[in-house]
Structure 1
Amino acid sequence: MAARKRGIFARLIALVFKLIFGFVVVSVLLVAFYRFVPPPTTVTMLTDSNGATRDWTSLDNINRNMVSAAIAAEDGKFCQHNGFDREAIEDAVRRNAQGGRIRGGSTISQQTAKNVFLWQGGGFFRKGLEAYFTLLIETIWGKRRIMEVYLNVAETGIGTYGVEAGAQRYFDKSAAALTRDQAARMAAALPLPKKRSVKNPSGFTRRYGNSIARRIGIVQRDGLDACTR
C-alpha cells in the first residue's frame, strides 16, 4: 500500500512538472511570436461589454509626444529599469498602508504584460504571472517593442483601445498628428479611461494633463524616452 501511494505521488509530481514545462515552452513561444506580430486581441477586449475599437499602428507612426507623455505619466524610469521600479512599488505599499485610495506601482512593462497575456484584477497568482511575463517581454521584446504594444493595447476610452483609435475618437486625427497637449490629455486619462474625460477635461484631469504636458519637455530633454527610438 505504501509503495502504491508513493507511486501515485511520484506520478502527480511528474505531471505537475510536465504542466509547468509545457506552460513555460508555450509562453516563451507566444511572447517570441508577439515580438513580430501584433497581438490579435486581449482578455480585456474580449470581455468588454462596450466592444473593442482598435487600430494597430507602428511606433514610427505614433507622435513622439505620445510616447513621452506615457513615460511622463506612467513610468518615468521606463528606460532605466528592468521591468520593475522597486522605489515605486515600495512607495505604493507605504501609501496603501496609510489607507485611502489604493495606489499601484506598476511599470509600463508590467501593465503591458498584464494587458496582453492576463486579465484585470489583483491576487497573488495573477501578480506572479504578471512578473513572469514582464521578465519575458523585457528579455525578448526590448523597450521599443514594449512601448509599441503598450500604446496599441492600453484602454483609451469606453470600448476604445490604443492611441490611434483614441486619437481618432477624441481629436479626429491620427496618432501621428497628436500635439503635446493632446498627448498629455490622453495620458492623463490612461489610468481611468472610462471615468476621465479626454475631450473636455476638468478638475484633476485637466490639472494632471497640464502637468504631464510640462513633463513631456523634461522627458525629451533628458532622453528619458531614448530607449524607444
Structure 2
Amino acid sequence: MPSKSRAKRRKLPWYLRPFKWLLWFAVLSVVWVLVYAVVPPPVTFTMLADRNGITKDWTGLANIDRNMVRAVIAAEDGKFCTHNGFDREAIEQAIERNAQGRRMRGGSTISQQTAKNVFLWQGSGWTRYVRKVPEVWFTFLIETIWGKRRIMEVYLNVAETGIGTYGVEAGAQRYFKHGANKLTPAEAARIAAILPLPKKREAVSPSGFTRRYGNMITARIGQVRRDGLDGCVYR
C-alpha cells in the first residue's frame, strides 16, 4: 500500500504557484467574457461603488438610435472599426503629451473603456497602472470573442451618463424625457460630450467647453455617416 505521504497530493513548488494562479485567472476570465457575450452584465464594480445609487435600463443596440453610435465614435474613437482594440497612434500621442507635462489625456479606445467598465475598476494614480495589464487582456478577449457590435452595445449600456445614471437609455430618459431610440444628432452629441466627466458636465443647456464640444461632435456625426466609420457595428 502507498504510504500516507505518497497518498497526499504533492504541493506545487512555490515558484510555480504564480503560473497556476495565472492559469486560473485566464480560464475564469474567458468564461466570464463568454457569458457576457450573450447575457447583459447585471452590475459593474463602478456601479457598486457609486454612492448615488444605480439607475439603468439595458437596451439592445437595435433600440438605440444610430446617432448615438456615431456620436461616441466621433467623440471617443474614430478608428473603432479599424483597430484591434488598441489605437497605437493615440497611445503614443498620449504618452508624448503626458511626458511634456501637458494636461493628462488618455489614449483608450471604446474597446478598452468597455473592458475597464465591465470587468475592472476605475481609479487614478498607481491603481490606474495596476489596472492596465488586465485591461489589455480583457480588451483582447472582447475583441476576439464579442466583436465590434457587442462591444458597442455593452459600452452604451454600462457607460456612466450622469450622477447615478448608467447607459444611454437611462441618460436619454433623464435629460430628454424619451428613449435612446429617438435621439437626434444634437442630443446624442450632448450625451457623448459628458461621458468623460458625467458627474461634472451637463447635457441639458450646456455651457462653455461642454457646449462647444457637443457642437463639434454633432458636426463629426455627419463625417462618421459619410465615411461609414460605424459600418462594423451594423454589418
Task: Decide: shared fold, TM above 0.5.
Answer: yes
- 1:203 matched to 2:220? The reply is no
**Aligned counterpart for 2:166 among listed residues 161, 165, 173:** 161
How far did 1:10 drift?
Answer: 5.8
Mapped partners of 1:13, 1:53: distance in 2: 46
Q: State the TM-score, normalized to the length of structure 2.
A: 0.92
- 1:142 matched to 2:147? The reply is yes
Mapped partners of 1:219, 1:26: distance in 2: 37
Cα deviations by residue, 1:205-226 (Å, 9 ceiling, x for unpaired) = 0011000000001101101000
Match of 1:174 in 2: 179
Mapped partners of 1:185, 1:130: distance in 2: 27
Match of 2:4 in 1: none
Match of 1:193 in 2: 198
Mapped partners of 2:190, 2:99: distance in 1: 30
For structure 2, which runs of at least 5 residues remain unmatched after alignment?
1-9
Provide the secondary structure at the position in 2 that maps to 1:156: strand
Cα deviations by residue, 1:73-103 (Å, 9 ceiling, x for unpaired) = 0000000000000000111111111223210
Name segments (4+ residues, structure 1) moved above 6 Å.
none
Mapped partners of 2:25, 2:100: distance in 1: 38
Mapped partners of 1:62, 1:9: distance in 2: 53
How far did 1:111 drift?
Answer: 0.2
Match of 1:58 in 2: 60
How far did 1:121 drift?
Answer: 1.7
Mapped partners of 1:86, 1:151: distance in 2: 23
**Aligned counterpart for 2:130 among listed residues 97, 102, 125:** 125
How far did 1:50 drift?
Answer: 0.4
How far did 1:13 drift?
Answer: 2.6
Match for 2:43: what amino acid?
Answer: T
How far did 1:9 drift?
Answer: 10
Cα deviations by residue, 1:27-58 (Å, 9 ceiling, x for unpaired) = 00010000000000000000001011000000
Provide the secondary structure at the position in 1 that maps to 2:81: coil
Mapped partners of 2:11, 2:34: distance in 1: 35
Mapped partners of 1:202, 1:35: distance in 2: 38
**Aligned counterpart for 1:15 among listed residues 5, 14, 17:** 17
Match of 1:5 in 2: none
For structure 1, which runs of at least 5 residues remain unmatched after alignment?
1-7
Match of 2:101 in 1: 99
Provide the secondary structure at the position in 2 that maps to 1:191: coil
Q: State the TM-score, normalized to the length of structure 1.
A: 0.94
Match for 1:91: what amino acid?
Answer: Q
Match of 2:111 in 1: 109
Cα deviations by residue, 1:115-138 (Å, 9 ceiling, x for unpaired) = 000000243321011000000000
Provide the secondary structure at the position in 2 that maps to 1:208: helix
Cα deviations by residue, 1:148-199 (Å, 9 ceiling, x for unpaired) = 0000000000000000000000000000000000000100111001111101
Provide the secondary structure at the position in 1 that maps to 2:68: helix
Mapped partners of 1:124, 1:99: distance in 2: 18
For these two proteins, the number of residue pairs brought into alignment is: 222
Mapped partners of 1:207, 1:110: distance in 2: 26
Mapped partners of 2:80, 2:159: distance in 1: 16
Match of 2:76 in 1: 74
Mapped partners of 2:214, 2:18: distance in 1: 49
